[in-house]
Amino acid sequence: MKLKKADWTIVQEAEEQGLMVGMTGLIERKRTDLNNELSDYFRKQLPAYTGSFDENEGEEILYSINEYITENNIDMYPLDFPITDGTDVHLIPITENIQLKVIVADEYHGGGDYSKYVMADFFLINDKATTKDVAVLIDFVKKHLLQGSK
């Protein structure tokens, strides 16, 4: 029986290999030429994209992503805010070569202060990823992330 790695482990390994691509001005320390090319392509297509969604927007974003998961018969649990204090990392398959990294957080800081948000500002690639894959991601972002946050 082959065990499936947790998404956060896959993300960590991708970061070490330079395969985590920034969708905003934030970038990973280790990057490849392909990483740079695909990040530049995404940011030129959606220059105002922040990838950050507050608690209210986050609810709508998660609903929209869950619709995508259901419509595409993706074998994963629906995304939701953590039941207890914490942060969850999810990888949403977009194409065979790209997965969107989605962070869902509900963090209590004490004294009544908390942060509840969704972040979708990086995507994981493999060495076969192309701008065509990123174009599919851009369509996903426009349909499921930008529409949901308005």
Task: Say what the pLDDT of residue 15 is.
Answer: 84
Of 121, 125, 110, 96, which Cα lies nearest the Cα of 34?
Answer: 125
Q: Tell me the pLDDT of the chain (150 aa) as tens digits.
A: 555 778 888 888 888 888 889 998 777 677 789 999 999 999 999 999 999 999 889 999 999 999 999 999 999 999 999 888 889 999 999 999 999 999 999 988 788 788 899 999 999 999 999 999 999 999 999 999 997 444
For residue 123, the cross-strand partners are 21, 100
Distances (CA, A) of 93 to 23, 97, 150: 16, 8, 24
Of 98, 103, 96, which Cα lies nearest the Cα of 62?
Answer: 103
Place of tokens 């259901």: 70
Place of tokens 């995404």: 42
Task: Identify whether the C-beta of residue 16 lies closer than 8 Å to the C-beta of residue 124.
Answer: no
Token pair in block for residue 23 = 């969708």
Claim: this prediction has a pTM higher than 0.85: yes
Token pair in block for residue 52 = 């950050």
In this structure, the dihedral spanned by the alpha carbons of residues 124, 28, 60 and 64, taken in order and rounded to 10 degrees, is: -10
Task: Say what the pLDDT of residue 1 is.
Answer: 53
Q: Report which secondary-structure segment, H or E, holds 98.
A: strand 98-110
Token pair in block for residue 83 = 């039941």
Task: Say what the pLDDT of residue 133 is.
Answer: 97
